[in-house]
Each structure stands twice: as C-alpha cells, then as structure tokens.
Amino acid sequence: MEHKKKRGLCMKTFTFDDPELGTIRYTDRKRYLWLFSVFFPLIPFIGMGLSLWNGSEWVLWLPLLAVYILIPILDFIFPNDASNPPEQVVPQLEADPYYRVLNHLTVPLHFIVLVCGTWFVAAQDPGWFGTLGLALLVGAIGGFGVNTGHELGHKKDPVDRMAARLVLAVPFYGHFTMEHNAGHHAQVATPEDTASARMGESIYRFALREIPGGISRAWALERRRLERQGRSAWSWRNHILQSYSVSVLLYGALLWAFGPAVLPFLLIQVAWSWWQLTSANYVEHYGLLREKRPDGRYERCQPHHSWNANHVASNLVLFHLERHSDHHAHAARRYQSLRHFEDVPQLPSGYFGMFLLAYVPPLWFRVMDPRVLELADGDMNRVNRL
C-alpha cells in the first residue's frame, strides 16, 4: 500500500500483485469526499445560526430547500460516477478502518442535532412556521440516521451493530435492522414484501402497508430469533427493545428538560424521519419482480432487482446508498466498494429528486411506469404490480 500527495491531500493507493495482470493500483478519489456524509447531518445548524443572527423564522427553511432542491440540481449538473474499484483491492479497501470510522462519527452527531434542535425551539420560540421548518429539517436528518443504521446494521461486528441500534434510537426506529436485514432482504422485489412498492401504487398507499407491515414483521422475526435461544420476546436481549429503550430515555429527557411545549416539534420530526425511509423504500424497488421458480421459491436477488443511481452529490451525502443494486445482491459489502453495473435499472435522478417526484403520483407514474414496462419487455407477468 502506498501513500502519495495529490492536490494537497495524502491519498492512499491500494496495490495488488496479480500474477497475470501485474501490479494493480487503485486510489479512491472520493476518499475524503465521504466526509460530506459525516458532516451533512449538521446542516440544521446553518438554519439555526441564521435565525439567531437575523431573528427571522423563514431562514430555518433554507437548509431544507438545500436538501430537496439544491442536491437534485447538483445531481443534474455533475456527470454520474460509474467508476468501480478493482475487485483485487476490495479486501484492502474494506479493511481500511478510515471508512468505518466515518460511519461511527455520524452516530453522536445525530443525537447532538436532535438535542440542539429541541433546545432551539424551546429557547427561541420560532413560532409555528419556524418550528415546522426546523422539525422537517431535523426529521430529514433523522432519516439520514436510519441510513447510518442501515450501513452499520448489515455488518457482523458487534460494535457496528450496537452503533446501529444507538443511531436508530434518534428517529425512534429501532425495529429497522431486524425488519430490513431478515425481512426486506429475504422478500425484496416480491409481492410478499411490504417494503417493495408495486407498479401503480402511490407512495401514500404504499406507506399504509409499508410502515405497519415493517413493524409487525420486525417483531415477528425478533420473537422467533429469541425463541430459538429459549428466551422471551421481552428479554433484555431483544435488540428492538434495546434501541427503543434508548429512544424512551432520550425523548423523556428532552421533554423533562424543555417541557411539553416541544412535543409537537418532536412528533413532527419523528414522523418525517419515518417518511424519509418510506420514501427510500418506495423508490428502491418500484415495480421490480423476482422470478418465481416451479418449486414456488423466488430466484436469488440479483442487481437488476433494485433501482440504482450513480448521481454524485446525493451519493456523497448518503454513504453510497443509491448504489442499491450491488447492496441487495451483496449485503455485507461496505459502502466504499459498492459497484455500478451496466445492465441494472437506473433512476433518472438521485433519491432527493425522486422523492419529490414520488410525492406527486401522476408525475411519478408518467416517469417510472414506462421504465418498468421496458425492463419487463412489456410482460406484466414480470412486473410487481397492484
């Protein structure tokens, strides 16, 4: 492994001596750009700082507009990044502790953002308009917290999994890891999966089955896991309850410290955090269907069973979440080594742009349904549909 100076930064180059290809060298040009994923959750402080500076409530909405308007614009401006690390150096790339540390650094930041946002509402009284804007923004960041929990919760290291349960306590979504890993990944792109959207299903109709279905499935899976160990579902070893208990302590402490006046703020930001995950689930597998074999079992999940996106700006603030095709085919693969595939469904925009499109169902259907049908060669039997 080599180090070299590049544009003022010490860049690490991974090397592998291949007996046929010779020495393979790879430098991750996004190595330091991944810091955007770490510090992006702090964006609410921009709105709070501006409001403290000029006393206006409306400025609390500016960072929210940056999330949902500016990032899609940047995704449109910058060319997509379809580069992949050579497979020969992936073991070294995934063993580099730098990338893992970045994930863990975001965990306390989510707690800090929620605590400071609650303090701001209590101490500054920004009115209903400012409170709503800040609640939605903090809730959006809570959705990013689910993304951190998603990355860490897939790993085998117990420290990673504990960090996942901690960060999921911020948006009160402690059931996510069990539901996602053992439920969604097992049934993805099938009619049985509550977290896979069907063609013709609006995001609002999808949410009515995705949110309660996910909670129910998570509890059922965790109950079975504990029963196999001879333990009660209400054991302290219940991973869902571990995360929920941190949530109860966190929100109880906030209500005790700042009073019941902050309850609307807390409820709105939690609801919006959950809505962000629902939005991501809706986008990621819309209309895609795994083939059912003669024995009644579905084919193994392949990269083409997920919508993929190589848009630069949104991937850099989401730890490569949008390279979802490789993630579902190889769930343990870390974000820095997720691959682009040429023959997988590609989204026309990054997630934030797709979220806005999904919130207007007629536009969503007009853009996405033809793409689904094209992938299925017009065969509705190859579409996950209503």
pLDDT band at 21 (very low <50, low <70, confident <90, very high): confident
The CA distance from 89 to 95, in Å, is 10
β-bridge mates for residue 236, sequence order: none
Buried/exposed 279-310: b ≥16 CB within 10 Å, e otherwise: bbbbbbbbbbbbeeeeeeebeebbbbbbbbbb
How large is the average pLDDT for residues 33-51?
A: 97
How large is the average pLDDT for residues 276-285?
A: 98
110-143: pLDDT as tens digits: 999 999 999 999 999 999 999 999 999 999 999 9
53-95: pLDDT as tens digits: 999 999 999 999 999 999 999 999 999 999 999 999 999 999 9
The full set of domain ranges for the chain reads 1-32, 34-331+342-382
How large is the average pLDDT for residues 235-244?
A: 96
Q: Check whether 10 has a pLDDT greater than 70.
A: no
β-bridge mates for residue 346, sequence order: 308
CB 104 within 8 A of CB 111: no
The residues, any chain, with a CB within 8 Å of residue 100's CB and separated by 6 or more, are 160, 334
CB atoms within 10 A of CB 70: 14
150-174: pLDDT as tens digits: 999 999 999 999 999 999 999 999 9
How large is the average pLDDT for residues 233-261?
A: 97
The CA-atom distances, in angstroms, between 186 and each of 167, 178, 281 are 24, 11, 15
Q: Check whether 5 has a pLDDT greater than 70.
A: no
The CA distance from 48 to 121, in Å, is 10
Determine the pLDDT at residue 6.
Answer: 45
Q: Check whether 7 has a pLDDT greater than 70.
A: no
188-214: pLDDT as tens digits: 999 999 999 999 999 999 999 999 999
Task: Please tell me whether the overall predicted TM-score, pTM, comes out greater than 0.85 for this model.
Answer: yes
Q: Check whether 8 has a pLDDT greater than 60.
A: no
264-279: pLDDT as tens digits: 999 999 999 999 999 9
Would you give the DSSP letter of residue 333?
S
How large is the average pLDDT for residues 301-326?
A: 97
The radius of gyration computed from the CA coordinates of the chain, to the nearest angstrom, equals: 21
Nearest of 167, 165, 185, 186 to residue 175 by alpha carbon: 165
The CA distance from 3 to 195, in Å, is 43
Q: Check whether 340 has a pLDDT greater than 80.
A: yes
Q: The tokens of 131 are what?
A: 């409170």
CA dihedral 221, 226, 230, 232 (to 10 degrees): -100
The CA distance from 9 to 279, in Å, is 37
Q: What percentage of the chain reaches a pLDDT higher than 70?
A: 97
Determine the pLDDT at residue 167.
Answer: 98
The CA-atom distances, in angstroms, between 380 and each of 217, 333, 384, 386 are 28, 32, 8, 11
347-382: pLDDT as tens digits: 999 999 999 999 999 999 999 999 999 999 999 999
Q: Check whether 334 has a pLDDT greater than 50.
A: yes
